[in-house]
Amino acid sequence: QKEVEQDPGPLSVPEGAIVSLNCTYSNSAFQYFMWYRQYSRKGPELLMYTYSSGNKEDGRFTAQVDKSSKYISLFIRDSQPSDSATYLCATHRGGADGLTFGKGTHLIIQP
Amino acid sequence: NAGVTQTPKFRILKIGQSMTLQCTQDMNHNYMYWYRQDPGMGLKLIYYSVGAGITDKGEVPNGYNVSRSTTEDFPLRLELAAPSQTSVYFCASSDIGGRAQETQYFGPGTRLLVL
């Protein structure tokens, strides 16, 4: 079982729709949860960061973590064509360890 | 502030050749990382460093070597390139403590093709 599972998609939705992206993880030691956005041929850029369980909102983006079910979500409201990208969930135990990434979900917002 | 820079952007290697991927950060971060990303896959950690002179293996270190002589630079060395090392390589850095430690900043990547 991979440590972080993420459906690679592609996920195609019309402009203005609410997008739901999800990941599951298996290691209870993970304490920090992130969502990165990656445009084609670019490096990942941090979108959202959450410590432990709970919700975090930033503009049109909301990140949710449920540690009891080991479930990570990212919601995008009023989706825009510029949101079309690959979204990578990542987790971290803390300290100097590197991030553990899901495969990424390719999101397409249709104008 | 350039952030994390990587050179070259793209390189074609023949099997058995060697090369060094360069990574430099100007944020005075202590932690630096090398990841590889294969098509349709997430990033996998190759090596990381918590400071000058200190490096450690990640999930997929075989076929690679690193060194960290300064805070700014963290080069990745490929010896005896193999087709399995065809990938996109990303360098990242982060600061020490709290949220800063978990916020890794990524470079633009180096695309490597081994034929």
| Interchain pair A96, B50: CB under 8 A | yes
Whether B102 and chain A come into contact, CB under 8 Å, resolves to: yes
Chain segment A56-98, per-residue pLDDT in tens? 999 999 999 999 999 999 999 999 999 999 999 999 887 777 8
Q: What is the mean pLDDT of chain B?
A: 92
Q: Is B109 on the interface with A (CB under 8 A)?
A: yes
Query: What per-residue string of b and e applies to A69-100 under the rule 16 or more CB within 10 Å gives b?
Result: ebebbbbbeebeeebbbbbbbbbbbeebbbbb
Dist. CA A71–CA A9, nearest whole Å: 18
State residue A98's pLDDT score: 84
pLDDT of B98 above 60: no
The answer, for B40 touching chain A at a CB cutoff of 8 Å, is: yes
Of B35, B105, B108, the CB nearest to A42: B108
pLDDT band at B101 (very low <50, low <70, confident <90, very high): low
Mean pLDDT of chain A: 92
Q: Measured between CB atoms, does B50 come within 8 Å of chain A?
A: yes
- Residues A27 and A33: their CA atoms lie apart, in Å, by 12
Residue B9 tokens, joined? 């952007």
Test the A interface: residue of B43, B93, B112 with most A CBs within 10 Å: B43
In this complex, which of A41, A42, A49 lies closest to B102 when CB atoms are compared? A49
Q: Does B51 touch chain A (CB under 8 A)?
A: no
Tell me if B103 and A104 make a contact (CB, 8 A cut-off): no
Location of structure tokens 């609410």: A18
Q: What is the pLDDT of residues B52-76, one digit of tens each?
A: 999 999 999 999 999 999 999 999 9
